[in-house]
Amino acid sequence: MGSVEQVCEDTNMTAEKIGHCKVSCSKEGKGKRLWKKVKYQLVEYHSLPGYLRDNEFIVGHYRSEWPMKQVLLSIFTIHNETLNVWTHLIGFFIFLSLTIYTAMKVPKVVDLHSLQHIPDVLRKADLHKLHSELMTCLPSLPNMPDLHKLRKELKTTLPSMDLLPSLSGWHVVELLYNCLPERFSIGNHTDVCVLQSVKEDVANIIAPLMVRPITRWPFFAFLGGAMFCLLASSTCHLLSCHSERISYIMLRLDYAGIAALISTSFYPPVYYSFMCDPFFSNLYMGFITVLGVATILFSLLPVFQNPEFRSIRASLFFGMGVSGIAPILHKLILFWHQPEALHTTGYEVLMGFLYGIGALVYATRIPERWMPGKFDIAGHSHQLFHILVVAGAYTHYRAGLVYLKWRDLNGC
């Protein structure tokens, strides 16, 4: 519409002529719009240029060599990549939220607010006795009892103590209180100095647990890898149809994202499982990092994106993932008696299952191969693969939380 005013302004005409211009220009605008509509129509597989032909079982609804503006706007229109873009864009935002949540909430072993309640509790207690009791009960801290049992116990022993709602994180303070209440006896000591000393003791005991949590970088490396993979994939699906050059760059970015996700997925389990044995920690992490970088370099070769390389691509990424079995078995051998080792392995098996099914669906192009053209918009293999990747990565996130909690509470 802007072009109508532009033409009319440029020609400096009389009102009559301007009226005439407006009619003809609007006709021209209509024609232009119609032409644009035809030009930016979705096309079928057989009319695609060679570099955009990837899956012949998706028959129609392709965008082909649209200008960048139309390509960007097509995120809000329906075509055969719409759900591919959105599944991973939503996945990216899920992982962005998980990263923010993890950074803000998870390391918070206990907040200082809950520590402020301690003097109120202690005021009612026999402080000298409490001090010694506290010191004797502390070595039992790592033996964390069942949380529900703990809550129940606290409710019966100290019904007036409204502390639990303000506790958070790994329940370290709950552990502390679990050994405290039974030993409380009501005394008449209200000496402020003694109170202060006990408060400091308690703070000193809890502080190392709070301020020196186990390092988080392997967990955040995984979250970063997941976000990079999901955003790269989403961008690739949106922009690749623009031109051969963009498609070439985007596909490499997509493969790099997958390799980054698989590599960084190794970091939390390997780091936290073998954090007391740096040799194996470095061995496994070095191995997967080298394999990830090698995969990215290999994917830079032009031949890598040919459709006949689909199975090789799938099996390369599949192989990277499968190599994770080695550290997991190693962890089980070392820590078979630890419930956390079994718990995390459960998540890892589920993740392997989700990724495995994803790779299988990706390579076989099920279900569209059975009914070509029926799954162009929704339900084709790549969309299923995307959803399985997000689900697998989320499972891994849950496993990562178990590792963090395990090592925060038990150390090596």
Closest CB to Zn ion among residues 229, 409 = 229
Instruction: State the minimum distance, in angstroms, from the CB of residue 236 to Zn ion.
Output: 7
Closest CB to Zn ion among residues 253, 404 = 253
Residues 222 and 265: beta-carbon distance below 8 Å: yes
Contacts of 234 (CB under 8 A, 6+ apart): 84, 85, 86, 88, 89, 91, 92
* End-to-end Cα spacing for the chain: 69
386: annotated binding-site residue?
yes
Instruction: State the minimum distance, in angstroms, from the CB of residue 237 to Zn ion.
Output: 6
CA distance to 110, 166, 173, 284, 360, per residue, from 113 (Å): 8, 8, 12, 41, 50
79: annotated binding-site residue?
no
- Point out the residue whose Cβ comes nearest to Zn ion: 233
237: annotated binding-site residue?
yes
Long-range contacts of 153-160 (CB under 8 A, 24+ apart): 153/178, 153/181, 154/178, 154/181, 157/181, 157/182, 158/184
Closest CB to Zn ion among residues 233, 281 = 233
- Residue 361 CA to residue 356 CA, distance in Å, equals 9
Closest CB to Zn ion among residues 220, 309 = 309
Closest CB to Zn ion among residues 95, 347 = 95
Closest CB to Zn ion among residues 380, 407 = 380
Instruction: State the minimum distance, in angstroms, from the CB of residue 65 to Zn ion.
Output: 20
Closest CB to Zn ion among residues 158, 230 = 230
Residues contributing to the site for Zn ion (CB under 5 A): 233
Instruction: State the minimum distance, in angstroms, from the CB of residue 233 to Zn ion.
Output: 5
Closest CB to Zn ion among residues 233, 243 = 233
- Residue 64 CA to residue 57 CA, distance in Å, equals 17
**Alpha carbon 394 to chain centroid distance?**
6
Instruction: State the minimum distance, in angstroms, from the CB of residue 301 to Zn ion.
Output: 20
Closest CB to Zn ion among residues 340, 368 = 368
| Token representation of residue 149 | 């049992």
Residue ranges for the known binding site for Zn(2+) are: 237, 382, 386
Binding-site residue ranges: 237, 382, 386
